[in-house]
Amino acid sequence: MFVDSEQTALADDVPYGLDGAMTTTRSGSETPSKQDLERDLVAVGTSQDREAFRRLFNHFAPRLRSFLIRRRTPDGSLDDLVQDVMAIIWRRAETYDPAKATASTWIFTVARNRRIDLARRSRPEVDIDDPATVPEQEDKAPLPDEQTSHTQMAAHIKSALALLPPDQSEIVMLAYHRDMSHSEIAEEISVPLGTVKSRLRLALGKLRQSMEGLE
């Protein structure tokens, strides 16, 4: 199984026990707005609002599952990992700051980090005495100048993203960090498909101009 004993500890005080009772769908077909989701996440963090958490679970659980499928998470671990992530959100929602990220970005960052953490823990132990684990002599670490260049490039990209308007940086994150299609992004943030495409085009143009300054 892809999850560990922390899931049980986290889920002990999560409403409804995350045992499947929360898989009912939201009444009606309306999609919650970005502001609705942020209010619900804040409500969970400040007062452990169970109804707000139910709404978050109903909205994000299927989206988290799709996200994890795209990340090639084993089928047998998907539901457990989704519930594990939602349990973490219940416990850590008080750390969410709507001024720094949307609810969607924050929740999917939790999911990504949790998946990476559990994947690392599930890797087999490496026998350092095994000759097969000794790198070949020609395998060389990056030169100091190369390492510095890579670090500077990453820092520049991060700074450039931070300068984008929030509505543009959010779409960049959804498209490239979460591998979402334009139509999926439009549904996720409740804007027309054309708006998604125009915002992404503007954002990439600004990022391209910023990167050209490094040449």
Q: What pLDDT was estimated at residue 213?
A: 59
Q: What pLDDT was estimated at residue 166?
A: 83
What span, in angstroms and rounded, lies between the C-alpha atoms of 185 and 174? Answer: 7
Q: What pLDDT was estimated at residue 147?
A: 56
Number of residues assigned to the chain: 215
What span, in angstroms and rounded, lies between the C-alpha atoms of 67 and 174? Answer: 11
**Residue 177: what residue type?**
H
Q: What pLDDT was estimated at residue 11?
A: 47
Complete domains list, the chain, with CATH: 5-121 (1.10.1740.10), 147-212 (1.10.10.10)
Q: What pLDDT was estimated at residue 149?
A: 57
Percentage helix, strand, coil for the chain under 3-state DSSP, each rounded to 5: 70, 0, 30
What span, in angstroms and rounded, lies between the C-alpha atoms of 80 and 83? Answer: 5
Q: What pLDDT was estimated at residue 32?
A: 86
Q: What is the pLDDT along the chain (215 residues), one digit of tens a residue?
A: 444 444 444 445 566 444 444 444 444 456 788 899 999 999 999 999 999 999 999 999 999 988 888 878 777 778 888 999 999 999 999 999 998 888 998 999 898 888 887 767 655 444 444 444 444 444 445 555 555 556 666 677 777 777 888 888 888 888 877 777 888 788 777 788 899 899 889 988 888 887 775 55
What span, in angstroms and rounded, lies between the C-alpha atoms of 123 and 21? Answer: 32
Q: What pLDDT was estimated at residue 215?
A: 52
**pTM here?**
0.55
